Amino acid sequence: MSTMAVSQAGVGGMTKDERFVILASSLGTVFEWYDFYLYGSLASIIGAQFFSAYPPATRDIFALLAFAAGFLVRPFGAIVFGRIGDIVGRKYTFLVTILIMGLSTFIVGLLPNAATIGIAAPIILIALRLRAQGLALGGEYGGAATYVAEHAPNGKRGYYTSFIQTTATLGLFLSLLVILFTRSAIGEADFAAWGWRIPFLVSVLLLGISVWIRLRLNESPIFQKMKDEGKSSKAPLTEAFGNWQNGKLVLLALLGGVMGQGVVWYTGQFYALFFLQSILKVDGYTANLLIAWSLLLGTGFFIVFGMLSDKIGRKPIILGGCLIAALTFFPIFKMITSNANPALEKAIEQGQGRGGGRSRGLRRPVQPGRYPRLHRALRHRTRLPRPVVGQVFDDIGCGRFRREGDGQRQGSCLRERQGQQSCGSRRRAGRRLSEDRRRRHREDGASVRHLPSAVAATIGLLFILVIFVTMVYGPIAAMLVELFPTRIRYTSMSLPYHIGNGWFGGLLPATAFAIVASTGDIYAGLWYPVIFASITVVIGFLFLPETKDVDIKAT
């Protein structure tokens, strides 16, 4: 690709070379995020495989902490690969990161579980998360975002880099599709036993495609020009963090932008998925399908808000998204509970404030403990109906919507395939239900006619969370690129991005679930993103500069 073709892009639309730059950078980053998010999407199953010696709630926390381990080292990856990127170049740096990432993910698919090699299994798993996937991803994003931004014309960087911003969601979406396809093809039991390895092994094919694409790229024209003139930095770490003028911008980028963006991002996608599965007890297949639908509907808004940021600025959109999210997280998650598992919501309402006595609708008395309300809601659920939204997808195959009551499965074609009652026998059994039971079913609010609306409402609420994600994440790459000069841009922008997303965002699911477990309030974990998003709104509004009119070719 020629520098001349790129330099003429500002006159009209994208040139062919620019479209290839965006496509190649985006596809490679999609595949890398796919690798990284496989673990997060399968956290519950991986917890059972590698932390099987512990109780289920503890497994979930350990699995999420192992997931977070990769995020802990992302800032160190940003420093290591950011320095290389500012000295050697953008292209070869993020070519190396994707090789490391892809190979480590493939190894996870081959790793024996705790039942086979004991404690060595979780140790090796965490080591792979720390050294390979965390470090590699720490160098990936900054390279891709910088590379695309340095090809973009002035006035369109928000639009151009927004395609990079879609890659994280598209990577998650791709991982969910592969997981759903594998689950459907081999069955839930086999998937939990060994089939979870297939999505990890498939990543080697995506790795080959990514490497082939990135080998065809040339170096960023802005960086190449600076390097040819001998103006590149010899000590980017010292220049980036050793002087207060640039160090202050790094701190403002973190606290006034990326910190809030990170917690909103991980609440809207990962914590929402974990909330559905581990707290609301929606089955894994359905939860993944719900999230996939919300991502499919919402991903295009990354580009919408990226373009809008070219018109009105980066700050109003990012800070506006943080503010709206902080104000609405609690009501949105409560509405998700109302639609996805109203029986659980009812049990929690009945159990709160009752002390240690029996909770109506539960078989056993609630024992006092560290988290009595969560104990009532999650552990003593033997007579609670299955989550409403899960039944719609199970029962579609029977040609009609059904429901179940008092813990008895009435309409699952999945169980039918496992040799249990046929659809016809279950229909006849359903018709024989007493009027008293039907009356109780209607009182529980889980009538057949409500099931499709419950699914639609749940997807709609998850879609709103994705919109918040697109608001804060769509313009963030352009803002970070514009804050720092070319000679130290890769290093300077990567560190605040990966601290904000890796530490504040990546630790969110485990921290929020630990807060839920310790308080017994299933919504208490939301205070984590609400507080940090609010801090970002205040600091960003007061101190963060607007960057949309910066000419990065002159810096």
Say how many C-beta atoms besides its own lie within 10 A of residue 243's C-beta: 10
Q: Which fold has domain 13-339+471-545?
A: Growth Hormone; Chain: A; (1.20.1250)
Please list, in sequence order, all residues whose beta carbon lies within 8 angstroms of the beta carbon of residue 314, skipping any fewer than 6 positions away. Answer: 158, 475, 476, 478, 479, 482, 546, 547, 548
Q: Tokens for 85, please give them.
A: 């990127």
CA 219 to chain centre: 30
> What's the rounded mean pLDDT across residues 356-380?
36
Q: Is the pLDDT of residue 366 over 90?
A: no
Say how many C-beta atoms besides its own lie within 10 A of residue 525's C-beta: 27
Q: What is the pLDDT of residues 133-172, one digit of tens each?
A: 677 777 777 778 888 888 888 889 999 999 888 887 788 7
Please list, in sequence order, all residues whose beta carbon lies within 8 angstroms of the beta carbon of residue 13, skipping any fewer than 6 positions away. Answer: none
Contact (Cβ atoms closer than 8 angstroms) between residue 480 and residue 145: yes
Please list, in sequence order, all residues whose beta carbon lies within 8 angstroms of the beta carbon of residue 389, skipping any fewer than 6 positions away. Answer: 282, 286, 290, 339, 340, 341, 451, 454, 455, 458
Q: What is the pLDDT of residues 334-353, one digit of tens each?
A: 999 998 888 887 777 776 53
Rounded Cα gap, residues 478 and 149, in angstroms:
7
Query: What are the φ and ψ backbone dihedral angles of 274, each rounded to 5 degrees?
Result: -65, -35
Q: Is the pLDDT of residue 435 over 60?
A: no
DSSP one-letter code for 192: I
The whole-chain average pLDDT of the chain stands at 77
The least confident of 58-72, 177-191, 483-497 is 58-72
Name, of 240-249, 398-407, 448-457, 468-477, the range with top average pLDDT.
468-477
Rounded Cα gap, residues 140 and 494, in angstroms:
9
Assign 372 a pLDDT band (cuts: 50, 70, 90).
very low
Q: What is the pLDDT of residue 387?
A: 57
Beta bridge partners of 408: 405
Q: Is the pLDDT of residue 403 over 50?
A: no
Radius of gyration of the chain (CA): 25
Q: What is the pLDDT of residue 407?
A: 39
- The model's pTM: 0.74
Q: Is the pLDDT of residue 528 over 50?
A: yes
Q: Tokens for 387, please give them.
A: 């989550």
Enumerate the CATH 1.20.1250.20 domain ranges in the chain, comma separated: 13-339+471-545
Q: Is the pLDDT of residue 19 over 90?
A: no
Q: Is the pLDDT of residue 129 over 80?
A: no
> What's the rounded mean pLDDT across residues 353-361?
35
DSSP SS3 for 53: coil
Secondary structure (DSSP) of 212-264: HHHHTPPPPHHHHHHHHTT-S-S-HHHHHHSSHHHHHHHHHHIIIIIHHHHHH
More confident residue, 230 or 539: 539
Task: Name the helix (H) or strand (E) containing 28.
Answer: helix 16-41
Q: What is the pLDDT of residue 301?
A: 95
The residue with tokens 């808000």 is 305
Q: What is the pLDDT of residue 14?
A: 67
More confident residue, 361 or 118: 118
- The share of the chain scoring above pLDDT 90, in percent, equals 27
More confident residue, 165 or 546: 546
CA 26 to chain centre: 17
Assign 131 a pLDDT band (cuts: 50, 70, 90).
low
Name, of 14-18, 155-159, 431-435, 527-531, the range with top average pLDDT.
527-531
> What's the rounded mean pLDDT across residues 48-58?
80
Q: What is the pLDDT of residue 315?
A: 96
Name, of 41-45, 311-315, 383-387, the range with top average pLDDT.
311-315
Q: What is the pLDDT of residue 282?
A: 87
Rounded Cα gap, residues 485 and 23, in angstroms:
25
The residue with tokens 């694409």 is 213
Q: Tokens for 202, please give them.
A: 């498939």
346, amino acid identity: K
301, amino acid identity: F
Smallest CA-to-CA distance from 368 within 511, 515, 520 is with 520
422, amino acid identity: S
Rounded Cα gap, residues 496 and 209, in angstroms:
30
> What's the rounded mean pLDDT across residues 18-39?
77
- Interior CA angle at 163 toward 215 and 207, to 5°? 35
DSSP SS3 for 187: coil
